[in-house]
Structure 1
Amino acid sequence: MSIESAAALEVRGQFDQLQYCELKKAIVLNDMLLVEDDAPAIGRPQGAEDRSWFEKLQEGVMVRKDLVLDDPRALAAYLIFNGREMDDNDHALHISINGHHLIRPPSKIAHPCARHYYTSDWGGSHFDNWFVVAVPVGALRQGTNEFVLWAESEETSWEIMVAADGEYKRGSETRLCHPNRSAKSRDGGRTWDFEHLGWKDEIDGEYTIRLSLDRSVPQGTFVSSVIDLATGGDRKRIEKLLDIEECRVKWEVDVPEGSQIEIEARLGDNPVPIAAAWSPFESVANFSKTWCAPAGRYLQFKIVMHAHNPLVTPVFKGISVEAKCHEHKHRSNRCYHLLQFRNGRVIRPSLPYVHEDFARLNELRHRFEATEFEAQLQLMHWAYKVPLGRLDTYQWNYFDLPRLDRDASGRPRLLGDYQKRRRDGHCLYCNLTLIAACLAMGFPARWVNISTKHTYGHEVAEVWSNEFDKWIFLDATRDYYIYDPDTGIPLSLVEISERLAEIMPGPATWEYPIQWHLPDLEMLRAARVALSGGPEHLILKGHLQMVRRNDFASRPWPLPWRLSSNWGSDLFYCFYSDMFPRKREYPQHTKRWQDFSPPLNQTELFLSETAEPDVLRVDVDTETPCFDAFLVQIDRAEWSEQTDPSLEWRLHEGLNQLRLKARNSAGVCGHEHLIGCGSINELALHLQNATPGHSRRLAHRAGSQSPISASTTSTTSKAPSTAARCTRPKTSSTTGTMSPGCSTGWRARRTISTTSSAPTTGPWPIRRAGSPGISTPFRRNSYSRIGSDWAESPPVLRFWPSCIGA
């Protein structure tokens, strides 16, 4: 019997409105629900002037918001609204919830630590904020709930934003008009006007008033990765050719009263879940299922959880697999010994990301044929210097931004030095230009908003690096990135957020924002990062918000942001942690790096025996945006291409080698995990002659790093490859050889050396891209995701064909 725990299944599983609970060691429903109807249209409406999209609260003006609840039960409830409180305000905000009156005192009394609400100490007070007010759960009811807000001041003391009806069709593909649940009264609530909102009475729409509930969401879905029924979770490097006589799978769940779990499963004869050779999903009764002579040896399942009572959640703890197997009658008597295997690892995000078609930006690429783009940093420096146009904030298009004029020599005109480090223009413009340039060159890139509670926001970029197998933060506004001071490896925003969390005295919340925890910016220098510039650039990078699309050359809508106000669109996907808790104004959150920073351009190889002697089946999985083809090289033959994710590998006497990589439609390839040609035989001989104990130590973990250790100035990437040596042992038992399916290897370390007089020590070493004469020496590992095994050593296979039992 093999058992897969929820913790193990979480690593590669896909979550929709679910979370992994450390306390229960189980997968459960999300425990926070947002009720809103304004998100598609939040922000400044097109053509609006004089802040007419805000309602000014003062004596005589009341605003009303109706929100509909399917079930009023919750552990806690919070009224969320977007607006402003006047500087040094002395007047309370009055709130009525279904006739229950409560008072929210002015912020300087109620929440003195949250100075962003009532002073300009931490930013311009003209910028709107998200306010959070705890409300009694007992005041809520099923169906329509009426919220009324007002102030009793002679002058304006509070403002509430209005989301205009005309903006809904730009911000959503499904919610195309407002539901007409907002109204204003100028006579103390005796009459209500649903059509003339805003202080100028000229907007029809919805007030940005929302309700956040601590309760289980109504439904969530978990989709598992592929499980080998013959070996359970212990997936060998080379799968034996086996037949399954009978198999029983049991799902361990708790289903409290008021909840429900539905399970569906499917079988396939291929370990790649997107392959055609899979059955449809079928329902599983009583949380267990037995198959006799199943149609395939691979299983994938789906769990749908329901909470009819929002105060409870179903619990999924794991599965157990029992299988009765025997060798296939046509299995050849070959014993394959794996010497080394560096494999990619495909992890699909829980929610889909819409990638731009690289071909849509060919025009931008062709205009720059005369320039030399040698790396992504040069692209960032170009985005830092290129003249920019103005983005149509109601119809985004990459081509609105870069001004591609040429000088007399035919090279693009670039701007000169700026008065300050920051370049001219809005931070979104230059970083969207950087993203467009990266996409034109075939590098996946995306826009991320950074705005820690509570800082005002900043728009930056991340680009996928095949060199480091990770997302890398870049900012074309100041032409810099952030890296590990010990290794020189560039960092992703998730990694930066994690390192910022290490120095936080407590969680950054709306009530106790980051400036309250770290009043002196110099305290940020304790973070384990290095960057160009001062620590003020780091304080923003706690909470992260990403829009799950970058196809602004193909689709101008749905519009994620109107550049006029705080963020709050339902298109944002938010990364949070214990020190940077969830922002209640957003509906979608994750604390899983797999969802926020999933690996791309990886090729994951699965090796299986076949009925034909010395032939292995190789199945390939990949998550490559704009995938074009797999490139395959066997031994020293020419590279060939194929789109079929399965191939047969015929082995021969001597050393066998297979290399494989994915190529996208722009011609950019993923990793070429190369084998050290001169060292493979030497290593094979070393393992042949090693003692059994030494051999076991060399093979201490599957998927370990390359045996090559070298110093090089090259930045050439490497590819998933397998190498095999076929020989016949002199006896049936060879001392020091490895058991079938094992692998060995150790971490490679490469050093990039450049000549420079730039400092390499100190708390803030310079890492500015494109700066003349500044090329700080740095060290890096070839593969940078520490503590995971999806960026492993090159796949090296060594096979000893022999008669079993001879």
Structure 2
Amino acid sequence: MDLNRLLRLFMPVLFMLLFQQPVAVHAQDGVFSGQSDPGDTIGHTAQTWSASELFFQSQSRQLMLADDAIELAGDMLIADDAPGIGSIRGEAWDTIGNGIMLRKHLVLPDSPVRNATISMLLYPVGNTPLSGGKLVFTVNGNKPIVYEFHHFWTSVPVPLAYLKKGENRIEVAVQEAGNQYRVPVALYEKFKYGSTANVSLPFRSARSIDNGNTWNNRVTAAGGAGEYPIRLKLQSYNDRAWLHTPVINLADKLLGEVVFSPAIIHDAVIRIDTAVTQGSRWLTRIRSGDTHQPALGGWSDWEELAMEKLPAEHKRRFIQLEFSFEANSVAETPKLNGLTVDSRWTVGLAAANLTVVSSQNGAVIPSAFAFRHEDPANNKLQKFRRTFALDSVVEGAETAWEKMIRLRGWVAGQWDWFLPDPESPDLITWDATEILAGTGGKRGGNCLHYAVVFAQACQSFGIPARIVNTNFSIWGGHEVVEVWSNEFNKWVMIDPNFDTSFYDRKTGIPLNVLELHRIFLSTYYPEGEPVNRDRWSVDDRNLRTANIRPEQLPIAIEVGGHAFSGKINEDYVWWKVIPNPLNAGYSGGYGFFNTAEIRWLPRSNWLSQPLPIPITHGRTHWGWDGYYAWTDEQTPPTPEHRIFVRRAADMYGPLFQVNFSASVVAKDRLIINMLTDTPGFSYFEVTVNGKQMQVSAHTFEWKLVPGSNNLEIRSVDVLGNKGKPSGITLTSK
């Protein structure tokens, strides 16, 4: 056991013996004050969270907030094609119509289902109408369901009586003679790219060319083997869901919630307000530690909490709770309505000689959704930077933001936008150098290619970047980049295809994709109605945009003017779609108008970890199931995806900040615990009373001097980029 661990275990008792006069800390509406009171030896803290507070302060998966209660979201996707979907090559397509029917077998779990939807990806061809054609779905031989086509992903309601446990058969045909649809096929040979898991080939698809009289599982016109993108979206409460509360401090919160005295936790009562239906499974677990963040180490493992009273082995200053909804056998969701924690504690007087003059603490917000950033020192990344002389591109830039804008303009001017030829190789690896080298004598590609090149250009300078795909309505979509800005202390959106960014008209601060999405809703759906893409029409789209005046919107666009594609200029129409008789349904690439649906790629380390990756991402309608898809009250969960984000903090947590605490171990000594989320982290730059040092560990000891003491901490990455400082100034008697 190391020295710091011994100190954290035994110093509270030692200080109780050395300093007989206690400090009482009283809770007053969440604000705590410290004072010397020899007659009151025990402090009491009562902390309460409503369901809403608990939801937005916690990490959770498969849960949602509804009617001021946390309940199961119940999003269950039954699909087997996602790893291989996306190829645009000719052998990866089939056609439905003119006697050709498709069949799919999907296996349902043994659990109650509240509703079910068939989600299928297909595209009208020839004279088939873009919206309004009729498809016929037959489930397990029941009465056919006639569905009117409005979006490339269908949303076909299925009566629950049609479904059964185990294997279900879905057959699809076209109702009107002459109508035809192209259907992409997830070729088995592509499965190895879309998933690194050991995926077994299901062989659950078949086609018929004689109106269903005979069937063949070679499912493409060229005789290829694969799976049709036909899926079942269920609302079922069978999947496990969980919530991790914020870290709960059971003792005092003196000295700006940064400096912590040694504490003895006498007892605590944990009251969970739940509504649990019979047959549902509910589990509460607890872990505890002496540091303010579990990631700093020294915490216990998760253990089941079977009582309200805090177990003796968890009587430590900090605890965290996990509420998990296990596999349920009922059709109703359990509900979590709130949480109350009452604790009694005693602290020593070790901090009585300290006064905090000022403090500034950064934030590290754990996300329920793992994200893997690229290492900025990656050899391929740095070679790309040297090969294309990116240092000369940003030479003279006075701020990091100006550096990003210069890189944005450089990427925008590299080629004229085009869609890759269907017979060109599928885009499997995402490498900026390969994109700029080109294939078939032609460099670049569509908006995804701009996004990859720009993201890696930023990463080569230590600027974290990630790709977000956006779309609205039946046709089109767009790929943009979000970059982390230390200057603005937030994620911001940059479009390297059009050399543009959006900013708040009042503050001048650039905006991220989720901010644009929320402005999209308030602009085009101001009455709070949901974005129902399955009832989309060109007329509805044009009606919503007809009276929009860009100068009256709370945002404006910044156009760099370097875009090759389309010769984008100051007159760029970014708030609506300009009618195009040749392609009336197109709604892609029109600025913030395109942010109705947003999905994040779950990682940006494409060079150091090539797979898994969506195949030819963006050329078909995002059928991969690994995206983190946003959903809110007006943006229903898409029927074709399985992972949904409902809390902004999960995707917009800060980077390059240092969150720290100071634990008193003697009157003149503090243990500083530091945590940061810095891609390519190298060390902490710690400055104590003007003296600078490098600290690689997450802990160091601060020896105080009489009078004023100043501490400043920055995170530094492997390229020398520094985050904003955290720090504290205090006086010691």
Q: TM-score range by the shorter chain?
A: 0.7 to 0.9
Matched residue type, 1:33: M
- Residues 619 and 20 (structure 1), Cα distance of their counterparts in 2 relative to 1, 3 Å cut: farther
Match for 2:174 among 123, 148, 151? 151
Matched residue type, 2:320: Q
TM-score by length of 2: 0.81
- Secondary structure of the residue aligned to 1:402 is helix
Q: How far apart are 1:96 and its partner, in Å? A: 0.9
Counterpart-to-counterpart distance in 2, 1:627 and 1:36:
38
Match for 1:530 among 535, 539, 556? 556
Matched residue type, 1:244: I
**Hey, what does 2:278 align to over in structure 1?**
257
- Residues 598 and 238 (structure 1), Cα distance of their counterparts in 2 relative to 1, 3 Å cut: same
Matched residue type, 1:62: M
C-alpha contact 2:46 2:342 (8 A) present in aligned 1? yes
**Hey, what does 1:660 align to over in structure 2?**
713
Q: How far apart are 1:653 and its partner, in Å? A: 3.5
**Hey, what does 1:327 align to over in structure 2?**
347
**Hey, what does 1:98 align to over in structure 2?**
140
- Residues 573 and 600 (structure 1), Cα distance of their counterparts in 2 relative to 1, 3 Å cut: same
Counterparts in 2 of 1:435-474, with a 5 A limit? 435-474=455-494
**Hey, what does 1:669 align to over in structure 2?**
722
Counterpart-to-counterpart distance in 1, 2:332 and 2:47:
26
Matched residue type, 1:216: Y
Counterpart-to-counterpart distance in 2, 1:633 and 1:55:
65
C-alpha contact 1:94 1:101 (8 A) present in aligned 2? no
**Hey, what does 1:130 align to over in structure 2?**
153
Match for 1:4 among 45, 48, 70? 48
Match for 1:26 among 62, 66, 69? 69
Counterpart-to-counterpart distance in 2, 1:62 and 1:635:
77
- Residues 333 and 306 (structure 1), Cα distance of their counterparts in 2 relative to 1, 3 Å cut: closer
Match for 2:188 among 165, 183, 191? 165
C-alpha contact 1:494 1:597 (8 A) present in aligned 2? no
C-alpha contact 2:117 2:156 (8 A) present in aligned 1? yes
- Secondary structure of the residue aligned to 1:641 is strand
Q: How far apart are 1:153 and its partner, in Å? A: 4.8
Counterpart-to-counterpart distance in 1, 2:315 and 2:112:
46
**Hey, what does 2:608 align to over in structure 1?**
554
C-alpha contact 1:34 1:587 (8 A) present in aligned 2? yes
C-alpha contact 1:399 1:553 (8 A) present in aligned 2? no
Counterpart-to-counterpart distance in 1, 2:117 and 2:53:
35
Q: How far apart are 1:98 and its partner, in Å? A: 0.9
**Hey, what does 1:733 align to over in structure 2?**
none
- Residues 370 and 294 (structure 1), Cα distance of their counterparts in 2 relative to 1, 3 Å cut: same
C-alpha contact 1:3 1:233 (8 A) present in aligned 2? no
Runs (4+) of structure 1 exceeding 4 A deviation are 86-91, 231-235, 387-392
C-alpha contact 1:228 1:298 (8 A) present in aligned 2? yes
Q: How far apart are 1:632 and its partner, in Å? A: 0.5
- Residues 80 and 392 (structure 1), Cα distance of their counterparts in 2 relative to 1, 3 Å cut: closer
Could you report, residue by residue, the CA deviation over 1:142-184 in whole angstroms, capped at 9, with x for unpaired residues? 1111111113555343343321111111100115343111111
Counterpart-to-counterpart distance in 1, 2:133 and 2:631:
33
Counterpart-to-counterpart distance in 1, 2:60 and 2:47:
20
Match for 2:406 among 369, 374, 378? 378
Stretches of structure 2 lacking an aligned partner (at least 5 in a row): 1-44, 398-402, 560-571, 576-589
Q: How far apart are 1:231 and its partner, in Å? A: 4.2
1:42 maps onto 2:85 in alignment: yes
C-alpha contact 1:508 1:517 (8 A) present in aligned 2? no
- Secondary structure of the residue aligned to 1:253 is strand
C-alpha contact 2:112 2:237 (8 A) present in aligned 1? no
**Hey, what does 1:575 align to over in structure 2?**
630
C-alpha contact 2:137 2:147 (8 A) present in aligned 1? no
1:650 maps onto 2:703 in alignment: yes
Q: How far apart are 1:570 and its partner, in Å? A: 0.8
Match for 2:654 among 590, 594, 599? 599
Counterpart-to-counterpart distance in 2, 1:215 and 1:629:
46
**Hey, what does 1:339 align to over in structure 2?**
357
Q: How far apart are 1:235 and its partner, in Å? A: 8.1
Counterpart-to-counterpart distance in 1, 2:255 and 2:69:
20
Q: How far apart are 1:631 and its partner, in Å? A: 0.8
**Hey, what does 1:211 align to over in structure 2?**
232
Counterpart-to-counterpart distance in 1, 2:364 and 2:537:
35
- Residues 61 and 192 (structure 1), Cα distance of their counterparts in 2 relative to 1, 3 Å cut: same
Counterpart-to-counterpart distance in 1, 2:189 and 2:200:
7
Q: How far apart are 1:224 and its partner, in Å? A: 2.6
C-alpha contact 1:574 1:588 (8 A) present in aligned 2? yes
- Residues 189 and 644 (structure 1), Cα distance of their counterparts in 2 relative to 1, 3 Å cut: same
1:722 maps onto 2:728 in alignment: yes
Match for 1:82 among 121, 128, 152? 121
- Secondary structure of the residue aligned to 2:448 is helix
Counterpart-to-counterpart distance in 1, 2:145 and 2:426:
41
**Hey, what does 2:563 align to over in structure 1?**
none
Counterpart-to-counterpart distance in 1, 2:294 and 2:623:
35
Match for 1:621 among 675, 678, 681? 675
Counterpart-to-counterpart distance in 2, 1:81 and 1:355:
32
Counterpart-to-counterpart distance in 2, 1:321 and 1:296:
14
Could you report, residue by residue, the CA deviation over 1:486-531 in whole angstroms, capped at 9, with x for unpaired residues? 1100001111111111112332222344862553355262431100
Matched residue type, 2:72: L
- Residues 152 and 9 (structure 1), Cα distance of their counterparts in 2 relative to 1, 3 Å cut: closer
Stretches of structure 1 lacking an aligned partner (at least 5 in a row): 108-113, 118-128, 405-414, 416-422, 672-718, 727-800, 802-806
- Residues 254 and 36 (structure 1), Cα distance of their counterparts in 2 relative to 1, 3 Å cut: same
C-alpha contact 2:70 2:336 (8 A) present in aligned 1? yes
Counterpart-to-counterpart distance in 2, 1:271 and 1:495:
31
Q: How far apart are 1:394 and its partner, in Å? A: 2.3
Counterpart-to-counterpart distance in 1, 2:213 and 2:689:
84
- Secondary structure of the residue aligned to 2:362 is coil
Q: Identify the range of structure 1 (387-396 vs 594-603) with the bigger mean alpha-carbon deviation.
A: 387-396
Counterpart-to-counterpart distance in 2, 1:598 and 1:238:
24
- Secondary structure of the residue aligned to 1:358 is coil
**Hey, what does 1:197 align to over in structure 2?**
219
C-alpha contact 1:78 1:133 (8 A) present in aligned 2? yes
- Residues 538 and 143 (structure 1), Cα distance of their counterparts in 2 relative to 1, 3 Å cut: same
- Residues 218 and 341 (structure 1), Cα distance of their counterparts in 2 relative to 1, 3 Å cut: same
Q: How far apart are 1:307 and its partner, in Å? A: 4.1
Counterpart-to-counterpart distance in 1, 2:248 and 2:646:
24
C-alpha contact 1:439 1:445 (8 A) present in aligned 2? yes
Q: How far apart are 1:397 and its partner, in Å? A: 2.3
Matched residue type, 1:469: N
**Hey, what does 1:224 align to over in structure 2?**
245
**Hey, what does 2:24 align to over in structure 1?**
none
Counterpart-to-counterpart distance in 1, 2:450 and 2:336:
45
Q: How far apart are 1:289 and its partner, in Å? A: 4.0
**Hey, what does 1:539 align to over in structure 2?**
593
Q: How far apart are 1:106 and its partner, in Å? A: 4.4
Q: Identify the range of structure 1 (487-496 vs 363-372) with the bigger mean alpha-carbon deviation.
A: 363-372
Where is the strand percentage greater, Structure 1 or Structure 2? 2
Could you report, residue by residue, the CA deviation over 1:266-315 in whole angstroms, capped at 9, with x for unpaired residues? 111111211221122212124x3423374632112222212423522222
Could you report, residue by residue, the CA deviation over 1:103-137 in whole angstroms, capped at 9, with x for unpaired residues? 42544xxxxxx4xx5xxxxxxxxxxx112111211
- Residues 317 and 339 (structure 1), Cα distance of their counterparts in 2 relative to 1, 3 Å cut: farther
C-alpha contact 1:246 1:294 (8 A) present in aligned 2? no
Counterpart-to-counterpart distance in 1, 2:135 and 2:356:
70
Could you report, residue by residue, the CA deviation over 1:680-719 in whole angstroms, capped at 9, with x for unpaired residues? xxxxxxxxxxxxxxxxxxxxxxxxxxxxxxxxxxxxxxx1
Could you report, residue by residue, the CA deviation over 1:599-624 in whole angstroms, capped at 9, with x for unpaired residues? 211111223333x1133332222111
- Secondary structure of the residue aligned to 1:100 is coil
- Secondary structure of the residue aligned to 2:492 is strand
Matched residue type, 1:4: T
TM-score by length of 1: 0.74
